[in-house]
Amino acid sequence: METGILLPALLLVGALVAVATQEGAEWSCEREEHPITSREALAPWVSAFRPGPVFNFSLLSVDPARGQLLVGARNYLFRLSLRDLSLIEAVEWAGDNDTRRSCHDRGKTAEDCQNHVRVMLVAQETMFVCGTNAFSPLCTWRPLESLSVVLDRVSGVARCPFDPRHGVAALLSAGGEVYAATSMDFPGRDPAVYRSLGSLPPLRTAQYNSRWLHDPTFVSTYEIGRYVYIFLREVATDSPCGHQSSSFEAQEDRGGSYPPEDRGGSPPLEGRGPPRELSRVARVCTNDVGGRFVLEDTWTTFTKALLNCSGLHAALVATVLLAEDEVVYGLFSSPSSSSRE
């Protein structure tokens, strides 16, 4: 498997170098045809894992120290060999009958009432893994050498979504705290950036305040230095052009936190088309201990900024962190087409 990844990459790099070193050559991606490698040609370097009646593979996490790939799916956890994807361990992790029955009684489908694994965070010798657990989120600590062993169980509320269709971005900080950006309630109407566990007090974004978060889709989160960054998309609250009100823009420019007493924000303007989804990055300080009175249990360092790709309000769909340079690369989707920028 490793050879199959490296060989095409080396060939690609060689081709790019050859083009770049040609005297007078101009870099261009506009070609009538792009090279295509057939599945048959790649077959000698490709390994596959097909476990049978297991569906909705949702998460992958690499454990290089043990040479294994951790996989989360619907009702299952797997440990696979990094070398050839051979099975090391398979663990069934489904909700109990009472939990599934309660889920059905609340009007959810059989597919919804499964345990969809949505969070997997590796910490030295253990893994923190969370599943939707039939709309009753649950998190467990498990040793990386044996995922069938459960060291501890904690509620998954505010750490994992109830609905498997809702997004989540989570990380385990250097200090041992879990930062999760997801929906905190059963209907998915209370999105939040939430810190829990560890030695610091739990904090969250202000509840039901569209100036903090407005119908967000969380993409990713990273700890860089003394900050945690959350990349997301959210619906603009005030303007069909995708801009917030002038007072809110001024607040963003100053880098200040958003006033908790300003609840709800203005509704979208009517008669000017659907609201636009904006790409943003939010940030909190890892040493934030919250405020007093109205800011109790709430971030005091939460800020966010608009991400603008090439002058377009493009939708952020994925990010990658280059940790050694502290640089985040983003993949955006054009609002007018399905092309990537």
Report the distance separating Cα 114 and Cα 158, nearest Å: 18
pTM exceeds 0.85: no
Identify the pLDDT of residue 272.
55
Per-residue pLDDT of the chain (341 residues; tens, 9 = 90+): 333 332 222 222 222 223 333 334 444 555 567 788 888 888 888 899 988 889 899 899 999 999 999 999 999 999 999 999 999 999 999 999 999 999 999 999 999 999 999 999 999 899 999 999 999 999 999 999 999 999 999 999 999 999 999 999 999 999 999 999 999 999 999 999 999 999 999 999 999 999 999 999 999 999 999 999 999 999 987 644 444 433 333 334 333 444 333 334 444 444 455 668 899 999 999 999 999 888 889 999 999 999 987 666 788 999 999 999 999 999 988 765 444 44
Among 90, 273, 297, 291, smallest CA distance to 192 is for: 297
Report the distance separating Cα 65 and Cα 76, nearest Å: 22
The string of DSSP codes covering 270-295 is TTS-SPPEEEEEEEEETT----SGGG
Domain closes at, from 165, 200, 221: 165
Report the distance separating Cα 215 and Cα 187, nearest Å: 12
How many other CB atoms are there within 10 angstroms of residue 308's CB atom? 13
Report the distance separating Cα 238 and Cα 194, nearest Å: 25
Tokens of 257: 């936190």
Among 89, 87, 88, 115, smallest CA distance to 100 is for: 115
**CATH number for the domain that contains residue 77:** 2.130.10.10
For residue 284, which phi and psi values (nearest 5 degrees)? -135, 155
Residue at 70 is within a domain: yes
Residue at 243 is within a domain: yes
SS3 220: strand
Residue at 36 is within a domain: no
Identify the pLDDT of residue 37.
87
- Domain ranges, residue 102: 52-165
Which residues pair with residue 332 across a beta bridge?
316
Identify the pLDDT of residue 15.
29
Fill in the amino acid letter for 61: S
Phi-psi region at 213: left, alpha or beta (left = phi > 0; alpha = psi -120 to 50): beta
Identify the pLDDT of residue 81.
96
Identify the pLDDT of residue 250.
32
Check whether residue 224 and residue 139 sit in a common domain: no
SS3 117: strand
Identify the pLDDT of residue 191.
96
Cα diameter, the chain: 71
Report the distance separating Cα 99 and Cα 135, nearest Å: 8
Identify the pLDDT of residue 29.
55
Check whether residue 214 and residue 161 sit in a common domain: no
Report the distance separating Cα 200 and Cα 177, nearest Å: 7
Domain closes at, from 165, 197, 223: 165
Tokens of 22: 């040609």
Residue at 305 is within a domain: yes
Identify the pLDDT of residue 309.
72
Residue at 199 is within a domain: no
Report the distance separating Cα 210 and Cα 201, nearest Å: 24
Residue at 238 is within a domain: yes
Residue at 221 is within a domain: yes
Q: With 0-12 CB in 10 A as exposed, 13-18 as middle and 19+ as buried, what is 271?
A: exposed
Domain closes at, from 148, 165, 182: 165
Q: What does the DSSP 8-state code read for residue 30?
A: -
For residue 99, which phi and psi values (nearest 5 degrees)? -65, -45
User: How many folded domains does the chain comprise?
Assistant: 2
Tokens of 232: 């997301």
Check whether residue 240 and residue 301 sit in a common domain: yes
